[in-house]
Chain A
Amino acid sequence: MPAVSRALVRVSLLYLITGMTFGALMLAGKGIDIGFPAMRLLSGHSEVILFGWLVQFVLGISYWLLPRYSSVPKRGNPVLSWSGFLIFNLGTLLLVAGALGVDGIGGAAARATQLFGVALLLVTQVPRIKAMECPSG
Chain B
Amino acid sequence: MPKLTRWMLRSSMIMLVGSLALALLLSSSRWISSISWAPAVRPVFLHLFTVGWVLQMILGVSFWMFPILGREKPRGNEWIAWTSFALINIGLIIRALAEPLEAIYHSSAYGWLLVASALAQWIGSTTFVLVLWPRVRARGTVTSARRK
Contacts and interface: CB of A to CB of B under 8 A. Distances in A.
A77 interface: no
Interface in A55-90: 57
Contacts of A25: 118
Interface in A22-38: 23-25, 27-28, 30-32
A25 B110 CA distance: 16
Contacts of A21: 122
A54 interface: yes
A31 B113 contact: yes
B133 A1 contact: no
A9 interface: yes
Contacts of B139: 1
Most B Cβ at <10 Å: residue of A2, A10, A17, A27: A27
A31 B126 contact: no
Nearest to B111: A31
A31 B115 contact: yes
A3 to B, nearest CB: 7
Contacts of A10: 133, 136
B24 interface: no
Determine the main DSSP class of A at the interface with B.
Answer: helix
A55 to B, nearest CB: 12
Given A13-B129, A20-B121, A1 B114 contact: no
Nearest to A19: B125
B137 A32 contact: no
A75 B93 CA distance: 42
A122 to B, nearest CB: 20
Contacts of A1: 66-67, 136-139
A33 B136 CA distance: 38
B50 interface: yes
B7 to A, nearest CB: 20
Interface string B45-57: 0010010001100
B138 A27 contact: no
B133 A30 contact: no
Interface of B: 47, 50, 54-55, 58, 66-67, 95, 98-99, 102, 108, 110-115, 117-119, 121-122, 125-126, 129, 132-133, 136-139
